[in-house]
A = this chain, B = another copy of it.
Amino acid sequence: MKDLDTNVLSVISPRPAESYKGNYGRVLTIGGNENFGGAIIMSTSAAVHAGAGLVTCATAPANLTALHSTVPEAMFVDYTDNEAVNNVLKSTTAIVLGPGLGTDETSKKIIANVFANVSEEQYLIIDGSAITLLAQEKDLQANLPQAHIIFTPHEMEWQRLSGIKIAQQTETANRVQQEKLGATVILKKHHTEIYAPNAETFRLPLGGPYMSTGGMGDTLTGIIAAFMGQFAKTNPQKALQAAVYTHSAIADQLSENAYVVLPTDIIGHLQKFMQEHSHENYRTKIGFN
């Protein structure tokens, strides 16, 4: 297992002068039932602030107003309207599925529809309730689609999905299950681990207990989606690593002045962090240019 270092941020490259929002990825976030709307709003807002070209949020109609009040840059679709969701889905680069989605019949239908319509070249980030549901529903498991799937479980969710008890979640054991899933697994814990297909295992040497608060993982999903939409063409592994790195590096910075770092605080610092650490700036700072 290898530690991630600040070099992964080099994937945050300066944008070419001639470009338009279509070049920076279309993100679709799906989640937020009548109880957990905040989760999908944070995921969506993170995607917008992390530079995604266009972001649409598929959620319960009850969350429409809070979404627009928090992040007017994002668009809305009713997450139970399959036709509308699929219409957005087909032109999407990266999909977040799960924050605040819940685990009832509606949630299951929404996941099934995404699984049936996602395509091979798309990035599908599966989080929270969607992981729990997948772990318990055989018919969802049987229909896990061909796509670049990224699971973002915490240890208990990983136990549910992989069958490996938390105490037994060693690199070797995790690898076996990750390979069976044929997907990337971001195992969220004290030092988060990244298991990608055909790649070394990486460990995040950043982050701390000031991040132990509700919504932290939801926010990560939005950052991952935005980074895949912008940087995966260059190097998908590094894009993903940079997203995970960025999320905790910002938290570490903010923790100097905050006993607990809130997800919305991290969102508010994405634009500045990405600018400071973009490839060119970083090279300049360390004396390469």
A interface list, Cβ under 8 A from B:
12, 15-21, 23-24, 34-39, 41-42, 45, 48-55, 62-66, 68-77, 84, 100, 154-155, 189-190, 208-210, 212-216, 255-265, 270-272, 274-275, 278
Contact = CB atoms under 8 A, between A and B. Distances in A.
Contact of A271 (B63, B259, B272): B259
A75 to B, nearest CB: 6
Contacts of A154: 20
A143 to B, nearest CB: 28
Given A38-B71, A73-B215, A73-B262, 18 more contacts: A15-B208, A15-B210, A17-B190, A23-B212, A24-B260, A35-B84, A39-B72, A48-B213, A48-B262, A51-B260, A53-B214, A54-B214, A65-B66, A69-B69, A74-B214, A259-B271, A259-B274, A265-B271
27 contacts: A15-B208, A15-B212, A16-B209, A19-B212, A20-B212, A21-B214, A24-B213, A24-B260, A34-B64, A35-B84, A38-B68, A38-B76, A45-B72, A48-B262, A49-B262, A51-B213, A62-B64, A65-B69, A66-B72, A70-B72, A73-B215, A73-B264, A256-B275, A258-B274, A259-B272, A259-B274, A260-B271
Contact of A69 (B52, B70, B210, B216): B70
Nearest to A100: B75
A209 to B, nearest CB: 4
Q: Which 10 A-B pairs have the closest CB atoms?
A: A38-B72, A259-B274, A15-B209, A66-B68, A258-B271, A51-B260, A259-B275, A69-B69, A21-B212, A73-B215
Given A73-B213, A75-B214, A271 B262 contact: yes
